[in-house]
Amino acid sequence: MTAPGTASGIDPREIYLDANATTQASPEVMTSVIETMSLGPLNAASAHVRGGQARDLTVAARDAVALLVGGSLPEGIYFTSGATEANNIALAPLRRDGTTTLLVSAVEHASVLHAALEAQRRGCDVRLLPVDGDGLLDPDAVRVAAASARERLVVSVQWANSETGVVQPVAAIAREARARREAFIHSDAVQAVGRIPVDIEAAGLDAISLTAHKMHGPQGIGALVLQDPDGHGLPPLMFGGDQQGGFRGGLGKLHSGAEWNFCLTAARMAADQER
Ligand SMILES: Cc1ncc(COP(=O)(O)O)c(C=O)c1O
């Protein structure tokens, strides 16, 4: 139970053990929500000085997220409403594609599994790869499945599991998949980012999804991190204005401070990881 009216929303006697579901927003994040909202009307698409201010904040947020996940290309970071949206964008091109095989582990989050099942209904060859008794996906199983894949191969395997905490050998999985054919490799890294070192480049992945509310950031803000800043040919999930290069239209959450909070959160997590 929380104690309504207390500054942090947390009763000091409470022991909360469900941080994989969500975390308490940190006091710094809460402060920055107020501070950013107090900066004034900020829209990164505006041509005037306020627009420049908003763009600077967005650049800072991208840099911080890039630092956090080892991506050297902040331009490949697209802010989303959370990891559910990021996972759906990553798997979106499969929806009407008879030429693709999608490999996912059987223990993915519902946002990956349901997107995969939808792709299957629309003709994609979807294969659910089982994990062993330790909850691990064998990279050899990926190599075998990749060998009989269709023309295009997409692999989506989580970095860490939300219930068991098992960390998948994502780098080996990517290597084995690519040993057979060119592949687009995505990982839902929600339960890993900010908790263990995550380096998208070193792991040899094309894309990862993350979300701020698992690392003491606000709910409703996440990111899809892409190695290719042009988006690997992924279509936008939503069509709108040309914000974020038209890839994800709509005014960001900068005005509510969320992207800036994400930046603060990410920067702090990166510093913690280095200690
Ligand atoms: C592994 C994993 N992926 C995706 C999500 C969805 O994240 P969001 O709540 O940001 O949509 C969660 C959240 O529960 C999760 O644990």
Residue 255 confidence (pLDDT): 63
Asked if residue 83 has its Cβ within 6 Å of ligand 1, the reply is yes
- Tell me: the pLDDT tens digits for 75-96? 889 899 999 999 999 998 776 6
Span 185-197, pLDDT tens digits = 999 999 999 889 9
Say yes or no: CB of residue 191 within 6 Å of ligand 1.
yes
Q: Which residue puts its alpha carbon closest to atom 14 of ligand 1? A: 21
CA of 150 to the centre of ligand 1 (A): 29
Domain of 95, in residue numbers: 36-274
Residue 28 within a domain: no
Pocket lining: 187 vs ligand 1, CB cutoff 6 Å? no
Helix axes 170-180, 139-147, angle to 10 degrees: 20
Examine residue 187 and state whether it is found in any structural domain, yes or no: yes
Burial grade of 75 (CB within 10 A; 0-12, 13-18, 19 or more) = middle
Residue 160 pairs in a beta bridge with 167
Q: Is residue 2 part of a domain?
A: no
Q: In this structure, is residue 42 part of a structural domain?
A: yes
Q: How many domains does the chain have?
A: 1
Q: What are phi and psi of 68, to 5 degrees?
A: -65, -35
- Sequence-distant (≥ 6) Cβ neighbours of residue 141 within 8 angstroms: 129, 130
0.75 surpassed by pTM: yes
138/25 Cα distance (integer angstroms): 36
CATH number assigned to the domain comprising residue 132: 3.40.640.10
